[in-house]
Structure 1
Amino acid sequence: MPKPLSVLLVEDSEDDAMLLLRELRKGGYEPFHERVESADTLKMALAARTWDLVLSDYVLPGFSGLDALRLVRESGSDMPFIVVSGKMGEETAVEVMQAGAHDYILKGRLARLLPAIERELLEADARRMAKKELYKSDEKYRAIFEGAPFGIFQSTVDGRFLSVNPALTSLFGYDSPEQMVETISDIPKQIFVNPDQRNGVIGAAVESSGFARREVDYRRNDGTLFIANLYMRAVRDDTGQVQFLEGFVEDITERKRAEEAFHAQFRQISTIFDELSVIVHVADAKTWSLVYLNKYGISIFGDDWQGRACDDVTGCNHPHPCPLTDGDGQGLDPNPQHIFEYKNSLTGRWYHCVEKRISWVDGRTVHVTVAVDITDLQDMLQMKDDLLSAVSHEMRTPLTAMCGYIDFLLDNDVDEGKTHEYLHIIQKENQRLNDLLSNFLSLQQLKAKKAKPSIETGKPVALQPLIEETVTLFKARAVSHRIHLELPPDLPLVFVEEGQVHRILSNLLSNAIKYSPKGGDIMIGAVKGDDETVTVWVRDEGIGMPPEVLGKIFDRFYQVESGDRRTFTGAGLGLALVREMVTACGGKVWVESILGKGSTFFISLPTARR
């Protein structure tokens, strides 16, 4: 038959309150309860009736478990007060226990709830009996005193036992209560590892109207040590003078060892996860609140993650419950695994995730997710698709021209002048194909981060001869354009690879020539900046560009013109390659342009520090 139990729930979540009541019913209790979530409602509930037990959350809106504990004690009640919280660090647990709470339970470890309640109810019964003065040899009291499973004592303030029960005698390793009373003449020195701990409990007990509790270190008769919760109160006479002390001793050594084993195991797991260059996060299977995030994850998402929902912190946009679970967060498969990819809404990067439900080090069921950044791979796949699209279009024209002229030369007798002209066209189209593939491979190498920045791998080089050499090559090709140089004689050295300078300037000069179809002047110049940089520019008098495209022209495969009737050929790789190369050198690139009047491209490179 269910045992009646009146429970006062200090809890702002009705769902969590129902969960606690369900645990009580599973344990054979029929709970009568009232749920409160503020100081005023708690005071009214305490005044309305007598309660057997208080179960309190630690954090409530505008209220706390410590506030609730204080109000309960101020009401004069010494009923069991147990904190049940979803998260609680070691320091917080110590704080609530020192404030007078009888125990603390994590919501993820409710298996400890019923044993804790039964223990505290038994101790509450013993405490109520103690208020009838333990020193009176009442037959009912004596039965409880002798049969209690925990140690009970009475002692003088100066340190001698007046009485001890068999449980306390056994706990300290003595043969009988009489032997223990007679043997121990100085309690602080003989059974306390640190005598000051007893003084602290006495001080708290004298100041309190109820029992004070502290965690202390004891020494047994054989010299072995153990850890215990010491409950103590001061018994006073009618004048208020302390007559003696009485209390209870609860051995918590195994609990402390289990807690230490938990923390040791957690530290080991954390050490492994923190060494990985992937995101690892652990979320409660019921609430989806994060219980762990490794250092790499913290470096990306920040350190404000504890207790927050995993999708809120990581931006995974992954609905919960996810395919791993059914509606109540408990999966049908005991060890399911879910693999998915997603684009993070916070970082904009792509991740490949493996998610699995396991039993965590504290016993609760959690979901462990390992997320590997695959953004570069996704970029490469996208780049491959873009290349196929661009190359299929851009290669068609030169290949068609080359094949046509070659077939014509093979099938017809062509004079030497025409043959030379056709071969020159074939050579020009071949160069276009070579430039297209060369730009793509260079861009692919830089995007895959296989090419290290020139500031690390390069050496100091002089810009002026490299610029002059590139301009000389282009003057021979651009017969209808006039290329001018404007270079000061004292340009500093820069950290850049010589080949990169040629590729950068070649792409910029090719663009200037291409988009100046009527010929004209092209200016290339350089100047030393005030911030240890050198700025090189290429200016043309061509068709220019409208303002809305200036932010896009450095993107891969971007074309100012689109469609099959474009005026100018090209795959849109040259300027993207310029940006990647300049960035790899630690520099910047930008453009200024006026539609119908021309464009000026600027590149800024860091100077070499001598």
Structure 2
Amino acid sequence: MAHGERYGLSIRTQLLSVTALVCAGFVAMAVLTFYSFGHIQDLTRTAIHRDMAEMTRNARIGRLFSESYASVGLLFSAFSPDEASLRKEGDRIVASCLSLLEEDPAPEIKTAIAGFARSLEVIIEDLVQASGALGMAAQARSGAHLALDRLTGAIQDVLHTDGRFRENSAGMDLDTAGLDMEVDAPSAPGAQDAQNAPGAVLAGVREKLVLADTLLGRVDLENARDPSRALALLEEIQDALPQFAALGETVAVRARDAADALAGYKNAARILSSSLSDLAVGMDGLKHSKDGAMAVMEGLDARNTETTLAVQNEIAGIIDSTRRMVFFSTAGMVAVLLATMGFFIKRIVNRPLRDILRGIESLRAGNLETPVRLNRSDEWGRIEEALNTLARDLSSSYSAIRESEKNYRDIFEKASEGIFQTTPLGRFYSANPAMARILNYDSPQELLAQAKDIGKELFTSTGDWEALVQGLLAAGEVRGFETRLQRKDAVVIWVSINAHTILDAAGDILYFEGTVTDITARKRAERRLDVLIRHLKTAVVDRTRKLSVKAAELEAANRSLTELDHMKSAFLSSVSHELRTPLTSILGFSKLILKDFERAFLPTAQTDPDTANRAGRIVHNLEIIANEGERLTRLINDVLDLSRIESGRMIWNDQAVDPSEILARSVDAVRGQFDGNPLVRLTVALPDDLPAIRVDPDRLIQVAINLLHNAAKFTPSGEVRLTARHLAGENVLRVRVEDTGVGVAPENLERIFDKFQQVKSGPTLEDKPRGTGLGLSICRQIVNHYGGRIWAESTPGQGTRVTFDLPLAPPHSPKPAAG
């Protein structure tokens, strides 16, 4: 039956209908509530806005009043005789006070602000006058101190020139800087008092002047009103000064000057005291104006507070009436809702629920074939159909579980691995036939009956059983646990156990479950493999020992070769030295004989043809001697260079150089060789902006000369070309020497860089050696020393191209020197 045909008005629809009626009442109540609260909000917004604006303005004005008053206080605390700065700061304070009128305050506050501003102007004027008086007092104070210092100096001069005071210096400290006057010792006590009288009086004068300075220097309003103490001290000082007239005319003049200066100081002090008194009176008036303004603002704030309280009382009344209305409306609506919901719950919930519970109890009892009958057309009908469907599904699931259990049992019985279940205490729950077969039992039942304690009866070591149990308890699972078990026939076998724990709903362990695999055959194979490995280790040790012996022999041979190399180097050095000395003499004498023969004998021999012919042969033989001597010298130099490089005794003067300059010098060195053969043209292409390289300049010149010299030797006619360029991608400098000479066979391209190697460049009978065979070998040694490489390319009959690469100098290397 379709849902549309069976189901009528749903429970949800019925409940919604009742709820709609209740909600209508709530809506009416909400409208009234919103109206009341809207009225309250309007009253509150108007009152608060007005009162807050007034209080905010008053608070701002009060703050500005306080700032102005504090600014005047700062002028007193930082009192300065600078009248311009005082007047400027005072004008700023007055302007700030008058700016309060722009806030549009109440009329009472406007009157208070105007009075406060007038008081400020009076105070500022009094402050400027007091500043001037303070400057006058400071100037007069300086004059008084200067006059007193001069008086002190005069008294000191008089006392030092009087012999009566030369031996006694005990009581004449005339100033605070520690002035000591030596006087003669008196012959009587009266004389001693007479000597001490000027010093005592002068010390008293200074103490009183310092005290008067202290009293007058405190520029505060309280002390400025009563300057009598300071003026009395100045009077006492002025009265004491005539006492010094007895010390002489000079001291009397200085005393009168000091008295005049003190009179000026007293007059300035009186003026300063009068100014400060006026200033104190003005400050009292300013404080009174400020207090009056603050009292006016406090009255306005009190009035605003009363207005706010009245509004609050009105709002409280409206809230109380609204609260009562909401309470009674809510109570009525809740009563109606509860009565309606009780009726519907009894009709459409309680009765069907009892029938549903009876059906569920029937299902729990296992009666899956008896359907639930409610005969309703609402949601309870859907629940009825769902329960009946659940019963049918449970019936199908139980059938599937029984089938799955049958399949599991088949796997359990027919598995090739042993499957077991056991308690943590070592007692079997179950075991499959494979498990019994592995342990040589006739059946699983026999195994379960006889094996009461697995750890003691089956494990050869109870420690292994305890380790297995501890692993399961700690991790819940053990994989590949290898141990030995004892079969029924007492045969010990190796097995591998995989096991895990089975827990109940509370998380407690029910039992262990796992599989057992017989790995005895694998263990036997592993033992055989261990034996083989031990034999291999023995063989490796023996072979290692033999290799060690051979290595020692090779090391000894290497030491011998090293000694031979050192001996070779020493021999070459000695031989070269022994050969150079006679060679130098032979070359020198042969050139000298050739020069003298050509100058003295050859011209006279031209008259006789036979003599001229013999003279020509003599010249030719002398030239052969010189050329062969020079060739032998070059051979010695090449051998020495190669020996130094190979032995590491070559001195490398590495520096950052300009490759264009070095290669140009090499070209200049071989230019004569090319000039002597007009059939060969030398072409040079060297860019000016080649990057610097770090090499020994002499060694680079040696490489370039060798390559150019070889190219010239093996190029009867044609061109020799020298080029250089920067390979940016590889960060190297590439130098190349190309010629159009006889070329080199491909199989000889590597041999030409070996020591003492020369290849045939023409017919065997005509081609004879043209050098030592060391030049290219030395070039390769030099290029390899700098981490570069050198190679040759050639086509026989078309020429040879020799190229070498050198790395560029590091970026931090110093730039090459110019020239």
Superposition TM-score, scaled by structure 2 size? 0.29
Flag the structure with larger Rg: 2
Whichever structure has more helix as a proportion of its residues is 2
Structure that is richer in strand per residue: 1
